[in-house]
Structure 1
Amino acid sequence: MIYITRREVFSASHRIYNPQLSDEENFSLYGKCSNPNGHGHNYTLEVTITGEVNPETGYLIDLKKLKSIIRENVIDKLDHKNLNLDVDFLKDKIPTSENIVLGIWNQLAGKIPNGKLYSIKLYETENNYIEYRGE
């Protein structure tokens, strides 16, 4: 079994808050991340797929094709966007890294023509990342 990872970066802003809670409750729960004016991150995304090498091509997948799939389905939708307001697949969700990773997974699931989606890893900072490997 081969594992291939493609790394992409994007910048986005968001406000972590639950609209059903008061500003005081949100601040108590999320701290400065619930700033009403939001804040931003330079995210690093790693998408890993797995499968067998095609003996005719020597590839699991052409990396240019994987790049195109990730950019079209994820990066173009997230880069320089407000995650609370601009991203359809995060509508009505609190844009925590956990929910962003789940949303990215759902954007890519079923779109990998060779192999299968193995994991999504999202670095919010150089010290914090979230990884999801499906259910």
Structure 2
Amino acid sequence: MSLPIDYADARRARLDVEFYFAAAHRLPRYDGPCFRMHGHNYRLFVAVEGAVDPASGMVADFGRIQAVVQEQVLARVDHRTLNDLLENPTAENIARWVYELLAPHLPGLCEVRLYEIPGCCVTYRGERAG
């Protein structure tokens, strides 16, 4: 038995889609062990927010988000050296770069969250006025 849903109350929703990739980098402006080449198994979350379409009942298609992230990001970073893409590939700079790659292709993109190691992440939400 399904429960009745009041679709008039389903105005907005947020989708979080999770991805993984492995990549190497070195931090040329860092005075410490990460100055040397090393690798991470990154965990990436891409968040899209928007109005729920009354006809489809969705904000966006999960499959479309997955395809865009695969094409725009994962194909460029997985098992690659991030210094080939960014001069100073800190987690902060990688998250911003990912956001900027995805923004033209994902309407409603509101956040990119990147875990470099378990328990440590950076969240980038785009440029915000004042």
TM-score range (shorter-chain normalised) is: 0.7 to 0.9
1:9 maps onto 2:23 in alignment: no
Tell me how far 1:55 sits from its aligned partner.
1.2
* Structure 1 segments (4+ residues) deviating >6 Å: none
For 2:112, the aligned partner's letter is I
TM superposition shift of 1:15: 0.8
Q: Report the equivalent of 2:4.
A: none
In the alignment, structure 2 segments of 5+ residues that lack a partner are 1-11
Q: CA deviation at 1:100?
A: 0.3
SS at 1:30 equivalent: coil
Unaligned runs of 5+ in 1: 19-28
Note the alpha carbon deviations across 1:93-125, whole angstroms, 9 max, x for none. 30100110110011001211xx41110000000
TM-score in terms of structure 1 length: 0.82
The residue type equivalent to 2:33 in the other structure is K
Report what 1:134 is aligned to. 126
The residue that corresponds to 1:46 in the other structure is 45
Counterpart position of 1:34: 35
Q: Could you tell me which residue of structure 1 aligns to residue 7 of structure 2? A: none
Supply the AA of the counterpart residue of 1:62: D
**Residues 22-72 of structure 1: per-residue CA shift (max 9 Å, x gap):** xxxxxxx4310011xx00000000000100111111111110111001111
C-alpha root-mean-square deviation of aligned residues, in Å?
1.0
1:82 matched residue in structure 2:
81
SS in 2 for 1:104: helix
TM-score by length of 2: 0.85
Q: Counting strand residues as a fraction of each chain, which structure ranks higher?
A: 2
- Secondary structure of 1:45's counterpart equals strand
